[in-house]
Amino acid sequence: MSDLRAAGVTPTTPLPDNMLFGLVDLQNGADAPEFWLGAANFFAITQYNRSFFYAMSVVDLSRAIRSARAINP
């Protein structure tokens, strides 16, 4: 993370400097791309399916499941 910070990347949540992240750009049609920080789990998903959009779908699904479990434990 320290290398990304040195390059001007500012995360929206606190992240440890010693953790490895990759900068992922997601094209958004005619709109500006979205930039995300991907950690080891994100890139592990892309070993199965190389699409960043597939990996982001897995991220979105996991967030929805976590949210539903918090409401209905």
7-57 per-position pLDDT tens digit: 898 898 899 888 889 999 988 889 999 999 999 988 999 998 999 889 989
Q: Residue 3's pLDDT is what? A: 87
Q: Is the pLDDT reported for residue 64 higher than 90?
A: yes
Residues paired with residue 34 on neighbouring β-strands, in sequence order: 26
Q: What are the φ and ψ backbone dihedral angles of 62, each rounded to 5 degrees?
A: -65, -35
Residue among 28, 26, 59, 27 at smallest CA distance from 42: 59
Structural element, H or E, at residue 60? helix 52-71
Q: Is the pLDDT reported for residue 65 higher than 90?
A: yes
Each domain of the chain, given as residue ranges in start order, spans: 2-71
